[in-house]
Chains A and B, each alone.
Chain A
Amino acid sequence: MTGAVDSDIRDDTGTARPEMVRAENVHKSFGHLDVLKGIDLVVGTGEVSVVIGPSGSGKSTFLRCVNHLEKINSGRIFVDGDLIGYRQHGDKLHELREKEVAAQRRSIGMVFQRFNLFPHMTALANVMEAPCRVKRQSKAQARERAVALLERVGLSDKVSNYPGQLSGGQQQRVAIARALAMEPKLMLFDEPTSALDPELVGEVLDVMKDLARDGMTMIVVTHEIGFAREVGDSLIFMDGGVVVESGAPREVLADPKHDRTKAFLAKVL
Chain B
Amino acid sequence: MTTQIQQQPERVRPEPIKAVPVRHPGRWVTAVVVVVLSAMFVHLLLTNKHFEWSFIFSDSGQGQPGVMFLRPVLDGLVGTIELTITSMLIGVALGVVIAIMRLSPNRILAGAAWVYTWVFRAIPRLVLAILFGNLGILWARIGFGLPFGKQIGALFGMHDFSGQIFSIKASELLTGFVAGMLALGLSEAAYMAEIVRAGIQSIDVGQSEAASALGLSRGQVLRRIVLPQAMRVIVPPTGNETIAMVKDTSLVAYVPVGRELFFQLSAVGTRTFQVLPVLVGACLWYLILCSVLMIGQYFVERHFGRGYGTGGRARRRLRDLSVESSGRIVLTDGNGKEPAL
* Bound: A116/B229 CA distance, A: 13
State which of A100-108, A203-211, A214-222 sits at the interface with chain B. A100-108
Mark each residue of chain A from 77 to 90: 1 if its CB lies under 8 Å from any CB of chain B, else 0: 00000000000000
Mark each residue of chain A from 182 to 201: 1 if its CB lies under 8 Å from any CB of chain B, else 0: 10000000000000000000
The answer, yes or no, to whether B21 is at the interface (CB within 8 Å) is: no
Nearest A residue to B215, CB-CB: A106
* Bound: A134/B225 CA distance, A: 14
Known: A114-B206, A116-B206, A120-B229. A69 touches B306 (CB 8 A): no
- What are 23 pairs between A and B in contact, CB < 8 Å? A69-B212, A69-B213, A102-B212, A102-B216, A102-B217, A103-B215, A112-B209, A112-B210, A114-B206, A116-B204, A116-B209, A116-B210, A118-B210, A119-B308, A120-B229, A120-B304, A129-B211, A129-B224, A133-B216, A134-B214, A134-B220, A162-B307, A164-B308
How many residue pairs link A and B with beta carbons under 8 A? The number is 79
> Within 8 Å CB of B204, what residues of A?
114, 116
> Within 8 Å CB of B218, what residues of A?
98
Is the CB–CB distance between B216 and A120 below 8 Å? no
The answer, yes or no, to whether B326 is at the interface (CB within 8 Å) is: no
In the complex, which of the residues A114, A164, A182 contacts B214, with contact meaning CB atoms closer than 8 Å? A182
Nearest B residue to A64, CB-CB: B209
Is the CB–CB distance between A118 and B207 below 8 Å? yes
Known: A112-B210, A129-B224. A119 touches B307 (CB 8 A): yes
The answer, yes or no, to whether A130 is at the interface (CB within 8 Å) is: yes
The answer, yes or no, to whether A172 is at the interface (CB within 8 Å) is: no
> Within 8 Å CB of A182, what residues of B?
214-215
Is the CB–CB distance between B307 and A134 below 8 Å? no
Is the CB–CB distance between B217 and A99 below 8 Å? yes
Is the CB–CB distance between A67 and B213 below 8 Å? yes
The answer, yes or no, to whether A121 is at the interface (CB within 8 Å) is: yes
Nearest B residue to A121, CB-CB: B307
The answer, yes or no, to whether A3 is at the interface (CB within 8 Å) is: no
In the complex, which of the residues B209, B215, B309, B310 contacts A134, with contact meaning CB atoms closer than 8 Å? B215
Size bin of chain A's contact surface: 20 to 34
Q: A69-B212, A105-B212, A164-B308 are in contact. List 16 more A-B contacts (CB 8 A).
A: A69-B209, A69-B213, A98-B218, A105-B215, A118-B211, A118-B225, A119-B307, A120-B228, A120-B306, A129-B216, A130-B214, A162-B308, A162-B310, A164-B309, A165-B310, A182-B214
* Bound: A116/B214 CA distance, A: 12
Is the CB–CB distance between B207 and A134 below 8 Å? no
* Bound: A130/B225 CA distance, A: 11
In the complex, which of the residues B207, B215, B220 contacts A116, with contact meaning CB atoms closer than 8 Å? B207
Is the CB–CB distance between A110 and B228 below 8 Å? no
Is the CB–CB distance between B308 and A108 below 8 Å? no
**B254 CB to closest chain A CB, in angstroms?**
43
7 cross-chain pairs, A with B, having the tightest CB-CB distances, nearest first: A116-B210, A162-B307, A106-B215, A130-B214, A116-B206, A110-B213, A134-B215
The answer, yes or no, to whether A179 is at the interface (CB within 8 Å) is: yes
Residues of B200-250 at the interface with A, using a CB-CB cut-off of 8 Å, are 204, 206-207, 209-218, 220, 224-225, 228-229
Nearest A residue to B213, CB-CB: A110
> Within 8 Å CB of B309, what residues of A?
164
> Within 8 Å CB of B217, what residues of A?
98-99, 102
**A118 CB to closest chain B CB, in angstroms?**
6
The answer, yes or no, to whether A178 is at the interface (CB within 8 Å) is: yes
**B226 CB to closest chain A CB, in angstroms?**
10
Nearest B residue to A113, CB-CB: B206
* Bound: A130/B221 CA distance, A: 10
The answer, yes or no, to whether A163 is at the interface (CB within 8 Å) is: yes
Residues of B99-114 at the interface with A, using a CB-CB cut-off of 8 Å, are none
Is the CB–CB distance between B214 and A163 below 8 Å? no
> Within 8 Å CB of B308, what residues of A?
119-120, 162, 164
